[in-house]
Structure 1
């Protein structure tokens, strides 16, 4: 969201960021001195998130936080009368659209997932009637090849009933003027066409990869840059990078199996083990000393890494990932093939596309044993199949980079969106030289928001 703000700011628009009240806040003002920041006066307690889980929490947040947002937004309107052009909000925070409608301010949805995930949400309630899938888990879903029923964006932290309720409200375009999608035409041209023609009657703007368009920081956790020095001592394409994101929790036995498989494959590896990500353990003290010694001799373990820099390093030949949207796009943006081990929600959609559509990844399913780990790493780094995957990943990298250059598809889409903003009623009502865009963002996506709460370090964020 902050990257989108920077991209629009570079086009001459101003950005106001409103963030919620939390006990532990991360200050963005130093990283984004060109933005204006305000605070939403009311929020839900952190205990609600723990007790309800992400989906339940978001449903409650949408029910109860509209009043606090309207108070904040109303004050902004009083201070900047006739200057606020539009509201851009995350699809999960659909109450923002209703509030903007009351103030008669145009609103725009920002979907930070893929186009195919957006489409999946439209049909979710039809495929999961009475909280049961119509087909078997491994069965292909008609008209959604290569997705199977088990690949649909279902959360492991909520009931199908609550997920269906959330998705139904998320895909309701309500009074939105347009939708911004975190994808690129070169990755999802058919899904984008399908979304525009079959599901939405408003403009759709694919503007990814935003991390190539803006220089905004991509992590709120402290990054260990010593891993770059370690990588510089390794051969080209020889290292497997492992990071399962800022959300996933693993059992101790699973971590031991991963460590054993990494030790057995005899390939150098950079492994991110986030503090608190192993149940019942602060960090890696749960690993047997003998195994830890074997692992440390071949690999390098950090608490968090500079992911964009790591993926861009010539020593990295593959990425073992949970397939979150950001990780997927950052990896493809550097031409790095992936081992896909999704946990929940749209990660499963991304993993399936990496394996079966873009063919730049290997999806690992079922029980994770050391032999599975060893085979997957070898398959990704060594041999003819590994070389073919790397070639396909590099082709996607070139396409993504071309998309953000002048006359590229994402560049043009952003220009079209900027021109669209200038047609909105508020923007027509005053001279062009005082146009301003104020973007609203209540919270990051469910998986990111969960992480912020877990780490107890992040504010929820709202652009206005």
Structure 2
């Protein structure tokens, strides 16, 4: 194509900016690859730290090597390399990017002529940003580049954020006293009062099911106020992309559509299976590509191969959650005492104050040797699809939840923070494909619930879960809601070029 033809028919060039956390980057990579398969140019902006971790531990280069239209750009997240970037400290990443990201982004866009690199590729025609990011907006507006938001969470997890001011005004936000112990506050009976100020969720959410960022001392909390500002900013966007499908979250998608009157949410999920379907349609081989910040321990697959069908509960609390040693011990005793086989992911940085330690009770060591395996990180999608896995003990992050839904694996939910509180409630009370054990870490309770999800209610959960899995697969096939919405999204991008 000549330069004159390129100018007459410019291809869309999409710039994607994820929050530099494992789950967010995974979703954005799936979207990036889908857009590449759809004939678009794609640039993804990563933090230097994230890029380094991916090059070290993931099959990042090989995954995108066949897409000449894909490239990576990087900026600093402003944090030192030894910052933990986990637990409650993940908020530091967004706050730091808000401070240092704007000037870096401006320099990058100006020096590269909006990522065109002197005409070697089209200029960026649309920006896709993660849910809590706003630093690119001033530059995008100056350059006349429209922007979209892709929050990478569920519709049900997103909707309460849009309603936060209404929750405050209704008096339904329960404020923690300055000197009140967090655990005491979370276990109080007041947390079980229903929330009526989130339309469509009046008979679903209790106060304890609201996002964890709502658990504050007063309405002037910095993070809470930033959520309010961000929800207002979302209305400036030309669209909203959500990794879900209409049969799963249709009523909540309708509520979001009414709230953002100028936007029709593009529900195009489940992204990871939608990507596989597109690859299949183009005759491409779909293989497992790691996008992990940690080295995956493949030995767990061989261990699973040696276990009976549906006998193992897979335990993983994701890439951010941290446990105290007391919490670790409660979970460990619960798993061992349940008598069930278990595969447990325990990240090296997931125990507050250091690792597991050397003083491990004999009964736990012996019980784990008999029925368990503990690894630092696992290829999760391969694990969940394994025939020996009968249930998923999860932190209810959205990637983990929707991966479990697609495969039809029942869940036991122990949410850690943010939207996970909402997801776990929907798993248990709306979709009825698992149990919710939030705000408790008692070995006897968890032992009982492990047995319940693996034995007592297993058939009931399996029937529901398999029904959900069928709906998820229909959504991404020709004529399905997510397939139609993706085509609509691609057409919009072409109109911006």
Structure-2 separation of matches of 1:272 and 1:117: 24
1:287 to 360, 375, 380: 360
Structure-1 separation of matches of 2:73 and 2:487: 28
Match of 1:140 in 2: 194
Instruction: Say yes or no: does 1:61 pair with 2:86.
Output: no
Structure-2 separation of matches of 1:381 and 1:63: 47
8 Å CA contact 1:87–1:108 kept in 2: the answer is: yes
Q: How does 1:246-261 map to 2 (within 5 A)?
A: 246-261=319-334
8 Å CA contact 2:173–2:214 kept in 1: the answer is: no
2:54 to 12, 22, 26: 26
Structure-1 separation of matches of 2:371 and 2:262: 54
Pairwise CA distance, 1:352 = 0.2
Instruction: Say yes or no: does 1:412 pair with 2:484.
Output: yes
Structure 1 unaligned blocks of 5 or more: 428-464
Structure-2 separation of matches of 1:315 and 1:322: 21
Instruction: Say yes or no: does 1:97 pair with 2:137.
Output: yes
Secondary structure at 1:328 match in 2:
helix
Pairwise CA distance, 1:218 = 4.2
Structure-2 separation of matches of 1:281 and 1:66: 35
TM-score (norm 2): 0.79
8 Å CA contact 2:90–2:320 kept in 1: the answer is: no
Match of 1:79 in 2: 117
2:470 to 387, 398, 419: 398
The number of residues matched between the two structures is: 423
Structure-1 separation of matches of 2:314 and 2:46: 33
8 Å CA contact 1:155–1:163 kept in 2: the answer is: yes
Instruction: Say yes or no: does 1:351 pair with 2:421.
Output: no
Structure-2 separation of matches of 1:198 and 1:369: 40
Distance change >3 Å, CA 114–CA 36, structure 1 → 2:
same
8 Å CA contact 1:273–1:284 kept in 2: the answer is: no
Instruction: Say yes or no: does 1:36 pair with 2:71.
Output: yes
Instruction: Say yes or no: does 1:153 pair with 2:211.
Output: yes
Secondary structure at 1:12 match in 2:
coil
CA RMSD for the aligned pairs? 2.5
Pairwise CA distance, 1:365 = 3.4
Q: Which structure has the higher relative contact order (CA within 8 Å, separation 6+)?
A: 1
Alpha-carbon deviations, 1:365-424, whole Å to 9, x = none? 3432221122111101113x2211111011111111111111111111111100111222
Alpha-carbon deviations, 1:264-322, whole Å to 9, x = none? 21111111111121223324645324421222211111111111011101111100000
Structure 2 unaligned blocks of 5 or more: 1-27, 176-189, 276-285
Distance change >3 Å, CA 230–CA 119, structure 1 → 2:
same
Pairwise CA distance, 1:146 = 0.5
Structure-2 separation of matches of 1:413 and 1:228: 36
Structure-1 separation of matches of 2:81 and 2:228: 26
Structure-1 separation of matches of 2:168 and 2:212: 10
Distance change >3 Å, CA 412–CA 130, structure 1 → 2:
closer
1:201 to 249, 255, 262: 262
